[in-house]
Chain A
């Protein structure tokens, strides 16, 4: 199994993954990419160069907001948190994703 670099996978999925990762706790950028990598069993590796532009874009859209906190390493880090409107956006995109993957699933099985 080869490793996938997002967002080569599907356009827009990086945003969805970031929003989903932030659903429970605020995190900084490195933690987000680590979490995605862990949970996907190293299948999904985020292209670091595109992670931060994506974070900044989401911040500008008002779906996440940033806060400077002291990290576990004792250094100041920028933590991102989901906003209420980000939560709504996540619901929309997650629904969209379900629909899409179910559709692809069906095609793969029955076509």
Chain B
């Protein structure tokens, strides 16, 4: 495009009056010349003018073609269409409002899902050139998923020895701590972390290398979230002190809101890595594992860097090698969004996004039906315009512009709806979830950034095509003369499109309702399953500082609401570890658990036969075990397990977990099985109990409380954090038991919300379409009744019209649900879900589909009744 061209276009666009006048002058001049020529040839003035005009042809047409050459007709047409659309809206505001609010609802709902999607996948952290940032990882074996984290010594070696990075930082995210007694999540980072990411603090300063030298005062940089949480956004926060796990830390800065430190979980604060030793007593200094994050030098490719790093690591003695010596480092994008197992995460997210998108689809179908009906009433207008010379594509374009305008308005409204829904969901989560969950978890409203807006814009374009194209094409397909007369013609009755729309709505609703049914049944069976544990009056204390254990035990015994204390490793309701057990000459892996003698009584795990641990049996060295019924059945079927000997392999002592000695154990008792609602099959065997005492390191404490466990939990938390400011968590057993089913419950509620929305939209759509049709066929129905049709026949006539799409929709929806279930369950990522969700529960299918058919029939019946009440005399007289 040349400059001259641009100039001409700009002139036409911004100075249209002049350009139009010039065009008129030019064309008029031509006719004038022609006329004079004809007069000179001897014609009379009037005749000459007539001929000149005839020769030129229609002036407006030529002018229009000249305008097209300007290359701005697109904008001109658009402006005209927009003005026209606005006039149409003003004339029929109710129709426009219905369309906008329906589409806005659909867009708002799908945007809720996208906002979460965005948070996990697209919302790259606000750091300098995030594309250059990579986490260095060491797979356990080449090509393996799992990886061995680097220690701090190894990090130092990487920083000194490699040359593919401009700099390398170390970070340990999401360390659970307590600040001023409240649960807080912190990230411990090397001194160059903030420089490497290229971020600055909004208040005060970031951390530096000097903060990381052990000499100085402990300091901390708060996130916006932490600033709000602990200082209520006090502007004079810098210089204040915080007690992190009981140690005083000085606040030196506050980070901007968008900065997350390359982590997906919100962090409350960042502290120097050197201080991690104070927080994590158990781990040996320099063996604390860290994430290694480097900024690749510009122009370095990832494969080249990986190769160089691997070669370097193989030769470097400081880097630990796997046992087989095969070492292959790799670089993972580190931008604060999911980069590992993206595929698996997508498997979870795509169906959710799809399910939310169905609402938009149903809304679009509703609107399309509405527009089809409006197309009939606008037929005269469209007919007039066609006969005045407008092309069909021109009218389609005008109708689509009108629809796009409504969709864009809906996108704006949809954003507000999505924010309201998100705020509502967070609020609901906060009130439903147990307090111990909320305290340790920062629930933040996912931001609606420019990506969400882009999504909404794209969504409104897609919606325009979905709801606007078919009606626009349909309503412009008409015979001119008949349309002008306002006659109904057969070819313009959009029956087939309408039936398809209803069918697809019913399909989508059926799909969603079946999902709701399946999850309801699964959540119900999970909630009502007998886990075999008395969970109502127990608390679990985990993660205490070992040096404070005696004082804590003392404080617990002194506490008024505590009845009984037991120890357990690992904590109750967790999956536990497995040990090789040998009986005779067969060896098998069995889950095991170390518990103190009080454990069985406290959690109500009943003895079936034999005896439980005696009070003095408080160590595995006692050589006795209690087994669960399932283990007894499996290892000694048809025999008495009591007095049998079982050999357990020694477990390796990692992180100071309590060891199991390699020796023979005598079975002294059999107890009832403990199940988990979610992991029933694998858990049933985890039933070898070995004795231990509550005073042993690493055991978690199980307490029986009197009165309300939530109140007891709160008072106990106050009392115990005074003794041990770094105390991990106190949880009610009830909530641990509930949490297992909570996942299903959440999915169930989402499915219920979506399917009820879908049903409401479908039913209202069906209802309005049938009502409209009855109105259209008033005359016909009147004639039918006049020649003897009974009201019952009329009802049947109207209802039967909707029967086919409903039947097809129900079958397709049910089938689609089953196919989706098959596809999803075949994916490895959904394995766990398959064990708990009864995806082919026949009852769920039958009930859901019946509900749909019933509601649709009711929706169809009301207009049908109205049709049956039409008075034949009145209709015939109206003609």
Contacts and interface: CB of A to CB of B under 8 A. Distances in A.
Nearest to A53: B65
Contacts of B32: 73, 75
Interface residues on A, range: 20 to 34
Interface in B66-93: 66, 68-71
A49 B65 contact: yes
A50 B65 contact: yes
A109 interface: no
B523 to A, nearest CB: 67
Contact of B55 (A48, A62, A73): A48
Interface of B: 2, 4-5, 8-9, 22, 25-27, 29-30, 32-34, 36-37, 55-58, 61-62, 65-66, 68-71
Interface in A32-68: 34, 47-50, 52-53, 56-57, 59-62, 65, 68
A7 interface: no
Given A30-B33, A48-B30, A68-B22, 19 more contacts: A28-B29, A29-B30, A30-B34, A49-B57, A49-B61, A52-B30, A52-B62, A52-B65, A52-B66, A53-B62, A60-B4, A60-B9, A62-B2, A62-B5, A65-B4, A71-B29, A73-B32, A78-B22, A78-B29
A16 interface: no
Nearest to B2: A62
A77 interface: yes
Contacts of B33: 28, 30-31, 73
Contacts of B22: 68, 78
Contact of B26 (A29, A34, A47, A61): A29
A56 B29 contact: no
A78 B65 CA distance: 18
Nearest to A61: B5
B2 A57 contact: no
Contacts of B34: 30
26 contacts: A28-B29, A28-B33, A29-B26, A30-B29, A31-B33, A34-B37, A48-B30, A48-B55, A48-B57, A48-B62, A50-B62, A52-B30, A53-B68, A59-B8, A60-B5, A60-B8, A60-B69, A61-B2, A62-B4, A65-B4, A68-B22, A71-B29, A73-B32, A75-B32, A76-B29, A78-B22
A73 B36 contact: yes
A53 B66 CA distance: 4
A4 to B, nearest CB: 16
Contacts of A60: 4-5, 8-9, 69-71
A29 B25 CA distance: 12
A46 B9 CA distance: 27
Nearest first, the 6 closest Cβ-Cβ pairs linking A and B are A30-B33, A56-B69, A53-B65, A49-B57, A62-B4, A48-B56
Contacts of B9: 60
A77 B29 contact: yes
A49 B5 contact: no
Nearest to B29: A77
A65 B5 CA distance: 11
Contacts of B70: 56, 60
B5 A52 contact: no
A49 B32 CA distance: 15
Nearest to A68: B22
A57 B69 contact: yes
A30 B70 CA distance: 21
Nearest to A29: B30
A24 to B, nearest CB: 20
A65 B7 CA distance: 12
Contacts of A31: 33
Nearest to B63: A52
